[in-house]
């Protein structure tokens, strides 16, 4: 890993991409400390870093705690992506048509995603501001009125769009997938705060006579983190190799190869999608906290869309499973894969080209997605259950999700670096 980074820094083009990415992330981190005007950010310090607050803090790198211009992070954009991708499944004919138009259609779908992001970001920013202001009489907004709420909504919406643009710049000119890198940087930036919180709770605020229990507690957390990192890395790197035969190849070239399909084809995207998707109803419900907090429907929905409850944890796991299957077929389109293999004069041994190949790949994706979904759901659910059953700190409930994102993005990042290094070696070989 370290040798890959060192070798990459020796290459001018790759070094520029790395430094460009770091520069964008620094801008994002600086923006997370710029508090929105007219807001008393100290009012949020007493809120537990679990549930909705924890999710938005994860996606904004702690920006919600400061109620910064990046307080919403990329959560509205991710939700918009989910909706647009779902609408492409024979729901909106125009979106289905665009999805088949290649690069031109992709740009149109991206434009539709941007407009939907603006709508969702504005609605969520108004909802969360009103909810925090009237929830438990926090008085988040100094002068609560329609004009102030609209102004804050516009500022937070602009912050979300700026964050999305920063992510696009990383994707186009930097290293890694932009939105994932933004979330990755936010989680890493909050790590020192989490360590300090554990140290304060277990040692500073605990008598020396109980430090033995504190050391045991910290040791178990470290072992759990290490075990999850090893397990996640092992599963993320596992793949199923499908043999491929070629009917025509260049002279001297091998007439066989293989197509690698990862066991967890979808990566960490389902976790990010599920976290963002479950936070949207929570944001909307916060706007009704002051007037409907005693109503049965409000309490039921609040319980269902709260990841710290049993019902919420089950819903969260179900969403991860569903998005795992959905995104696996988005990443690997069996129809296009079968078509491309046929055009290249290649086939899977024992499987007829065309529809038979498409059916074979689809059934294989389903089997792989079962393993991937169980893996993602297990890693994300265990910390939540530990928090609920054993009474651990509620912020630990999101630890599994954060570790999944960090490890998954780190693996993708190093894979891309290795790919760029390999591409450079091939180009150098051709030129020579």
Length of the chain: 432
Those residues whose C-beta lies under 8 Å from the C-beta of residue 206, and which sit 6 or more positions away, are: 214
Mean pLDDT to the nearest integer, 177-189 = 84
In the chain the domains, ranked by start, together with CATH numbers, are 12-204 (1.10.3370.10), 237-391 (no CATH)
pLDDT at 250: 47
User: Rounded to an integer, what is the distance from CA 153 to the centroid of its chain?
Assistant: 24
Distance CA 98, CA 346 (A): 28
Could you give the percent of the chain with pLDDT greater than 90?
5
Q: Where are the alpha helices (DSSP H) in 32-91?
A: 51-60, 75-87
Q: Is 195 exposed, middle or buried (0-12, 13-18, 19+ CB in 10 A)?
A: exposed
pLDDT tens track for 126-166: 888 887 777 656 677 878 888 888 999 999 999 999 999 99
Answer yes or no: pTM beyond 0.75: yes
pLDDT at 401 over 90: no
pLDDT tens digits for range 35-81: 888 887 777 765 545 556 666 776 666 677 778 888 888 888 888 88
Question: Over 70: is that where the pLDDT of 365 sits?
Answer: yes
Cβ neighbour number for residue 293 with a 10 Å cutoff? 13
Dist. CA 187–CA 62, nearest whole Å: 8
pLDDT at residue 4 is higher than 60? yes
**Distance between CA atoms of 312 and 306, rounded to whole angstroms?**
5
pLDDT in tens, 238-293: 888 888 887 765 444 455 677 888 888 877 778 777 877 777 777 777 767 666 76
Determine the average pLDDT of the residues in 222-233: 81
Q: How far apart are CA 288 and CA 290, in angstroms?
A: 6
The percentage of residues in the chain with a pLDDT greater than 70, rounded to a whole number, is 83
What whole-number distance in Å separates Cα of residue 125 and Cα of residue 286? Answer: 11
308 in Cβ contact with 393 (< 8 Å): no
| Cβ–Cβ < 8 Å for 328, 365 | yes
Tell me the Ramachandran region of residue 73: left when phi exceeds 0, alpha when psi lies from -120 to 50, beta otherwise: left
CA dist., res. 236 & res. 240, Å (int): 12
190: closest CA among 332, 3, 33, 336?
A: 33
DSSP annotation of 241 reads E
Burial of 270 (0-12, 13-18, 19+ CB in 10 A): buried
Residue 368: is its pLDDT beyond 90?
no
């Amino acid at each position: 890993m370290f040798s890959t980074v060192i070798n990459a820094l020796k290459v001018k083009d790759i070094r520029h991409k790395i430094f460009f990415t770091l520069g964008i992330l620094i801008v994002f981190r600086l923006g997370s400390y710029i508090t929105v005007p007219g807001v008393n950010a100290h009012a949020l310090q007493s809120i537990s870093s679990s549930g909705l607050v924890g999710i938005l803090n994860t996606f904004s790198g702690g920006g919600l705690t400061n109620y910064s211009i990046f307080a919403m992070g990329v959560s509205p954009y991710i939700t918009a992506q989910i909706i647009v991708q779902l609408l492409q499944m024979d729901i909106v004919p125009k979106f289905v048509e665009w999805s088949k138009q290649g690069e031109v259609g992709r740009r149109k779908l991206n434009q539709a995603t941007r407009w939907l992001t603006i709508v969702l970001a504005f609605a969520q920013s108004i909802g969360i501001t009103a909810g925090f202001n009237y929830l438990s009489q926090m008085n988040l907004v100094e002068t609560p009125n329609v004009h102030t709420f609209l102004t804050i909504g516009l500022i937070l919406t602009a912050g979300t769009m700026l964050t999305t643009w920063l992510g696009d710049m990383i994707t186009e000119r930097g290293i890694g997938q932009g939105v994932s890198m933004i979330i990755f940087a936010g989680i890493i930036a909050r790590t020192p705060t989490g360590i300090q919180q554990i140290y304060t709770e277990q040692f500073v605020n605990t008598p020396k006579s109980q430090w033995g229990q504190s050391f045991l507690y910290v040791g178990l957390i470290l072992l759990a983190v290490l075990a999850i990192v090893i397990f996640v890395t092992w599963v993320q790197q596992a793949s199923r190799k499908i043999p491929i035969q070629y009917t025509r190849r260049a002279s001297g070239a091998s007439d066989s190869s293989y197509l690698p399909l990862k066991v967890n084809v979808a990566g960490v995207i389902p976790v990010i999608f599920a976290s963002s998707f479950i936070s949207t109803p929570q944001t909307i419900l916060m706007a009704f906290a002051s007037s409907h907090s005693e109503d049965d429907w409000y309490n039921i929905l609040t319980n269902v869309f709260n990841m710290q409850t049993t019902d919420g944890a089950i819903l969260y796991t179900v969403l991860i499973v569903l998005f795992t299957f959905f995104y696996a077929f988005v990443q690997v389109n069996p129809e296009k894969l079968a078509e491309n293999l046929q055009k290249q004069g290649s086939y899977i041994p024992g499987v007829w080209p065309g529809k038979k190949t498409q059916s074979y790949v689809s059934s294989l994706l389903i089997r792989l997605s079962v393993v991937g979904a169980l893996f993602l759901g297990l890693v994300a659910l265990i910390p939540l259950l530990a928090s609920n059953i054993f009474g651990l700190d509620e912020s630990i409930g999101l630890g599994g999700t954060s570790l999944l994102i960090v490890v998954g993005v780190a693996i993708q990042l190093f894979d891309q670096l290795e790919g760029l290094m390999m591409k450079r070696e091939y180009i150098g070989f051709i030129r020579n």
